[in-house]
Amino acid sequence: MQRNFLFLLGSGRRDGNSEQLARKAAQYLPAEVPQQWLHLLDLPLPPFEDLRHTVGVYPQPVGNEKTLFDATLAATDVVFVSPLYWYSVSASMKLYLDYWSAWFRVPGADFRKRMAGKTAWAVTSYSDEGDDQLIVPLVSMLRMSADYMEMHWGGTLAGYGNRPGDVLADAAGMDQAKGFFGM
Ligand SMILES: Cc1cc2nc3c(=O)[nH]c(=O)nc-3n(C[C@H](O)[C@H](O)[C@H](O)COP(=O)(O)O)c2cc1C
């Protein structure tokens, strides 16, 4: 199967540590594997509305939501690139995931069925040096969400960093980035 990777960037800034770590890992993907990079700062979404038990369905996505919806469905591999914010993913990443619940209920989208069998990955950076257990909640929520979606779990790439670029000096993170996607 021809793989294609969607990198979703959830940091509150551009070119931060999580993005730099993901870009490092992506360098090792074979050239023929397409990569799409979307920064959630460029694609803001309105607050999520839970219409499950009122309207019951959601309208066809438009605008930024449609860009994210189409890209998500087109990818075989979804890479959640998020800094550790309060031990979890950033709010923009969480909001993007909340929209998956809406996309289940877009008539004709078949979102759940079409997501099953894809692979989810996590790339994160965090500033609390010396305790890699701190990323457990972030990894758990993404991994459980992938399980719920019947997606495969690719794995977690984590690097230490606080100021932008710090992660490039994290030898363990840089080393792990090399073989991360295993292709
Ligand atoms: C809102 C916010 C919450 C954060 N929460 C944590 C945290 O819980 N644990 C931690 O180690 N670092 C935390 N940090 C630090 C970031 O994870 C760290 O600076 C990271 O390198 C930022 O990644 P980025 O450069 O990709 O944005 C937080 C930063 C912000 C702005």
Q: What is the CATH number for 51? A: 3.40.50.360
Per residue in 3-51, pLDDT (tens digit) is 999 999 999 999 999 999 999 999 999 999 999 999 999 999 999 999 9
| Among 41, 87, 127, residue to substitute to test ligand 1 (most atoms within 8 Å of Cβ) | 127
Structural domain for 162, as ranges? 5-179
The rounded mean pLDDT for the chain is 97
For residues 136-166, one letter each, b for 16 or more C-beta atoms within 10 angstroms of the residue's C-beta and e for the rest, the string is eebbebbbebbeebebebbbbbbbbbeebeb
| Strand partners for 39 | 9
Per residue in 49-79, pLDDT (tens digit) is 999 999 999 999 999 999 999 999 999 999 9
Q: Is 83 in the pocket of ligand 1 (CB under 6 A)?
A: yes
Residue of the CA atom closest to atom 16 of ligand 1: 126
Share of the chain above pLDDT 70, in %: 100
In total, how many domains does the chain have? 1
Whether this prediction's pTM lies above 0.85 is answered by yes
d(CA 25, CA 42): 22
| Among 11, 84, 162, residue to substitute to test ligand 1 (most atoms within 8 Å of Cβ) | 84
Cβ partners under 8 Å of residue 36, min gap 6: 4, 5, 6, 7, 71, 74, 75
d(CA 82, CA 39): 10
Per-residue model confidence (pLDDT) at position 154: 98
